[in-house]
Amino acid sequence: MKCESCQAEIEAGDEREHAGRTLCEDCYMDALSPARSCDPWAVFSAKSAAELEGGAELTEVHQKMLHKLQQDKYVLPPDLAAHVGLSLEQLQKELAALRHLELIRGARKGGQVYVTRFDTPHDGEDN
Ligand SMILES: [Zn+2]
């Protein structure tokens, strides 16, 4: 059986009916909440970073990244990717999201670009 939206193969019993179409779980969720696929970060940007950081709304990966940055202060992207178990490409997306929330920023030190928390003082960084 195939999803009528994304053509993914659906395992027997996992198919969902929506508006007369057979959908996979993912497309079904999308169909139920169309806002989800628009801008997942729009909802976050309305809230303050501090509120978010303390709250449960950051994903587990984001929290792991922020904890790592709290411990090590400056982390190279490949090390951060390894720490949270993402590819560098996937990490870039997560970094973009966190940057958008002003929770992290890039920092140049000794000619290398590190990731650091947004509130890390600029002392000791390259100009
Ligand atoms: Zn689908």
Q: What is the Cα–Cα distance from 11 to 2, expressed in whole angstroms? A: 9
Cα(38) to centroid(ligand 1), Å: 17
Asked whether the whole model's pTM tops 0.75, one would answer: no
Q: Give tens-digit pLDDT for 92-118.
A: 999 998 998 889 999 999 999 999 999
CATH fold group of domain 42-117: Arc Repressor Mutant, subunit A (1.10.10)
Cα(99) to centroid(ligand 1), Å: 30
Nearest Cα residue to 97 out of 29, 44, 48, 33: 44
- 88-127 in b/e burial notation, b at 16+ Cβ within 10 A? eeebeebbebbeebebbbebeeeeeebbbbeebeeeeeee
Cα(126) to centroid(ligand 1), Å: 47
Q: Give tens-digit pLDDT for 61-86.
A: 999 999 999 999 999 999 999 999 99
Task: Return the domain boundaries, the chain.
Answer: 1-38, 42-117
Q: Give tens-digit pLDDT for 22-57.
A: 999 888 888 887 554 445 554 444 455 545 555 546
